[in-house]
Structure 1
Amino acid sequence: MPYRYRCHACATESNLCSWPAHARAVRREHRRIAHGGMRPAAGDRIVHAVPSVRGPAWTIGILLALIVLKELTGIEPADIARWAGIL
């Protein structure tokens, strides 16, 4: 599960971190640079980031498009891959 560091004092957040230890390192670095190594008065947190649904949505959309294309035209996905130079 991805993690993200959020600083409420600066209203900033980090990029996604794969591991909690990486998010803690980002927190330490941010505190060192922006807050003199101290915890901000407004607080900061490391939170679980909700994964984006765009990846699975794109995959499902492409698969549905390939199925519709095959049903309407009879062109197989392997044929498209060969034409595109993938296979």
Structure 2
Amino acid sequence: MPYRYHCHACHTESELCSWPGQARAVRREHRRIAHGGMRPAAGDRIAHATPSVRGPAWTAGVLLALIVLRELTGIEPADIARALGLL
């Protein structure tokens, strides 16, 4: 589950972090740089972030395109991957 650090004083948020420890490290660094190492008066938090749906949508689109390509031309996805240097 991705996490994101929010600083309410600066109205900023971090990039997505893979695990809570990574988000805590971002918080420590932000507090050190922007707030002299102190907790901001307006507060800050680390929260679960909703993952983007773009990744799965792109994956589904590519898979659908490969299936259609295979049905229309007979070219296998592995052949395409080899031609692109992916395999």
Find runs of 4+ consecutive structure 1 residues off by over 4 angstroms.
none
Does 1:22 pair with 2:22?
yes
- CA separation in 2, counterparts of 1:51 and 1:42? 26
Q: Could you say what secondary structure the match of 2:18 adopts?
A: coil
- What does the per-residue CA deviation read over 1:46-85, in whole Å, with 9 as the maximum and x for residues that have no partner? 0111112222111111110011112222222233233334
Alignment length, in residue pairs?
87
Specify every segment of 5 or more residues in structure 1 that has no aligned partner in the other structure, as ranges: none
Q: Which residue of 2 aligns with 1:49?
A: 49
Q: Could you say what secondary structure the match of 1:5 adopts?
A: strand
Q: Which residue of 1 aligns with 2:69?
A: 69
- TM-score normalised by the chain length of structure 1: 0.82
Specify every segment of 5 or more residues in structure 2 that has no aligned partner in the other structure, as ranges: none
CA-atom RMSD in angstroms = 1.7
- TM-score normalised by the chain length of structure 2: 0.82
- What does the per-residue CA deviation read over 1:17-73, in whole Å, with 9 as the maximum and x for residues that have no partner? 222122122212211221122221221110111112222111111110011112222
- After TM superposition, the structure 1 = structure 2 runs for residues 1-40 of structure 1, keeping only pairs within 5 Å, are 1-40=1-40
- CA separation in 1, counterparts of 2:21 and 2:7? 17
- CA separation in 1, counterparts of 2:82 and 2:22? 41
Percent identity, aligned pairs only?
85
